[in-house]
Structure 1
């Protein structure tokens, strides 16, 4: 780690693990070194009127896709897109981000080719980035050609997480069955349409635009993929074994059945990401799994998919982690909405976006303000009754973002 000069932030209200309290926080060489200690020549930052908290740890965010493809089918170069994403992360107080990188059989944005470019470019750009950018290998379980990339990424410089994702079966789900209650995807009796069904072709329109092919071509491609369904479980076993061997955190995505959660837990995935109903969330809690919901869900007061609400899950003790999902500002705005709605206090809610995701991901060096931890910190201006805003972000003691309001 590079040497960085000592900094003291004083006068702020600090979000500790179980309380809010005024304190001066000193950090140097990337670590917190003192709480209410001496200045000793350190640079002093006036934090009066602000909240000083652990910076956010984002377990799942795919807003980076909008930098790569700002319009359907319009792809931009990966390197500048990721540099711009990094700036957005820092500006929103996110010091650790796992980009939900979909590895799919689709051409274009979510292809293995583009996934390889993102992984490679992030590794190359690492010295130029302001915060800790990592990837969540959001693996579409029908994408057999992604396994070599997964193997390579697990052996790379920044250990990724792996999310088991089956939107392929979900796409073919008979509309008479809700996706929140769909059966386990490997069930032989899974209620699937035939790919040639006109209802299915209509569903392919948006995906075809993203892939820059016609809906008919998308249906033809999907039909070929669907024929390989008998091979999916063996592929899952292979990827799960790779993840376990590397010690990678593993998640299952959009669980709709207890059987689904049990299946992936048995293979080492101890994080349930966006469970689709209370029944599954309760089963995950009873088994000691981590449970993730979307911060935009909390910000909006409900899910955009008509699934269960994050606020209700937090009240019921069925949510450990809030992820940015598709909107980076939601990590802070979600906390603000939850506080305003009386779901919890700032100090009780903050672990949802810092300590808990860090623990779930095995990042034991960050997520809380304690001596010896990484100096990943966010200074927030939060006027009573008004919207909060990030004013400074520090990542491993480096100033990653600073914004001075016009009134100063």
Structure 2
């Protein structure tokens, strides 16, 4: 069978792979694909994809990734079209085994890269490009609390289904502390296109509206709950702040700043989602709590790419290699855990009837696992070499 015919086959199977089952065991078996869903273990019909002994794992679910911003603005003030950035980021995602991607789009009061207009353009581009994207790509709207003028558009996006997850950010108070520092203000203003003085005046005007924030967040939270959109809070500094967001319905704590806050969140049944780069680098680049420390203590239930897509593939192998967590449980942190947090019951595990999202990984080089093929919705969207050539990945009749 030719490669083009094999790629268009609706029913096919993965053979010669080591499959991580939903029960947490790794078995050598065939895995059938039926359209865009997984069939059962055991011989199926149609052509075969020879895994060449690779691990066959559930596709990665990334709840928070903002590396696409570097494709949109690789240098301060140097901007590229959202469509070009999204297509390039999509290729990076597929090459790293990510099959469901929540683009963490910051919607702030700032002009430029993180403005309301920029967020709207990106959301429109995702909707337009979706048929061309390898990954199931969704919008994770990071709403800056002081962006009061953005409330109306966000309510509209929630009502029309353009936003799949909302996170409450509150970076403005930290920025307000630099109002008297022209050097720091100039650095903060780089991505906005403003000079330091006008940026400082805008920041001061925004900060003066503090009393309006709590009612605005309550209205947004109510709209998200009504729309069935998960809510998260970002950089929770203490258990009381986390509890306040929980009362609004935010059951995901992104990047809690310390162990105490993470422990309070887990005790209340919340998802604690940390950065996979934190695991891979061996600690936080901001000298905050270590993600691996929280994982080892049972205080982290999901990992996210944050600013570096490859970290999601690497982190489970690092955790298992360091003896912090068994591999099957470590892989749950990038598949089943985030899928459950987002309410995606159709993915994150390898089981009959679920969405056919898979990543085939060669882990023979210690510390350097690599993706050799990615399957999203039953389609091979990334593969090393040509699938029609014999050897590790052969399409056969």
Structure 1-normalised TM-score?
Answer: 0.90
2 CA distance for matches of 1:386 and 1:214?
45
Post-superposition offset of 1:205: 2.3
Post-superposition offset of 1:157: 4.8
2 CA distance for matches of 1:196 and 1:156?
38
- Is the CA contact (8 Å cut-off) linking 2:314 and 2:369 kept in structure 1? yes
Alignment coverage as a number of residue pairs? 381
Post-superposition offset of 1:403: 1.3
For residues 319-357 of structure 1, the C-alpha deviation after alignment (integer angstroms, 9 at most, x for no partner) is 000000000000011122212211122212110000010
State whether structure 2 residue 151 is matched by structure 1 residue 138. no
Pick closer, same or farther for the CA change 1:354–1:158 going to 2, 3 Å.
farther
State whether structure 2 residue 299 is matched by structure 1 residue 318. yes
- Is the CA contact (8 Å cut-off) linking 1:140 and 1:165 kept in structure 2? yes
State whether structure 2 residue 61 is matched by structure 1 residue 62. no
Moved more, 85-94 or 317-326: 85-94
Gaps of 5+ in 2: 1-7, 393-397
2 CA distance for matches of 1:83 and 1:113?
20
State whether structure 2 residue 76 is matched by structure 1 residue 72. yes
For residues 25-49 of structure 1, the C-alpha deviation after alignment (integer angstroms, 9 at most, x for no partner) is 111210011211x333x11011132
2 CA distance for matches of 1:27 and 1:123?
27
Equivalent residue, structure 2, for 1:13: 18
Post-superposition offset of 1:385: 2.0
Post-superposition offset of 1:170: 2.3
SS at 1:89's partner residue?
Answer: helix
- Is the CA contact (8 Å cut-off) linking 1:4 and 1:28 kept in structure 2? no
Moved more, 94-103 or 19-28: 19-28
The aligned runs of 1:88-127 (5 Å cut-off) are 88-127=92-131
For residues 353-404 of structure 1, the C-alpha deviation after alignment (integer angstroms, 9 at most, x for no partner) is 0001000000000000000000000011110524111111111101111112
SS at 1:271's partner residue?
Answer: strand
- Is the CA contact (8 Å cut-off) linking 1:153 and 1:160 kept in structure 2? no
Post-superposition offset of 1:171: 2.1
2 CA distance for matches of 1:399 and 1:385?
26
Equivalent residue, structure 2, for 1:177: none
SS at 2:189's partner residue?
Answer: helix
- Is the CA contact (8 Å cut-off) linking 2:279 and 2:292 kept in structure 1? yes
| Alignment match of 2:332 (pick from 344, 351, 369) | 351
SS at 1:136's partner residue?
Answer: strand
For residues 7-62 of structure 1, the C-alpha deviation after alignment (integer angstroms, 9 at most, x for no partner) is 211111111232111121111210011211x333x110111320100010001000
State whether structure 2 residue 373 is matched by structure 1 residue 368. no
Supply the RMSD in Å over aligned alpha carbons. Answer: 1.7
Equivalent residue, structure 1, for 2:5: none
| Alignment match of 1:383 (pick from 364, 368, 389) | 364
2 CA distance for matches of 1:259 and 1:4?
53
Structure 2-normalised TM-score?
Answer: 0.93
State whether structure 2 residue 260 is matched by structure 1 residue 260. no
Gaps of 5+ in 1: 173-192
Equivalent residue, structure 1, for 2:316: 335
| Alignment match of 1:33 (pick from 27, 39, 42) | 39
2 CA distance for matches of 1:151 and 1:84?
29
State whether structure 2 residue 145 is matched by structure 1 residue 162. no
1 CA distance for matches of 2:271 and 2:347?
17
Post-superposition offset of 1:144: 1.3
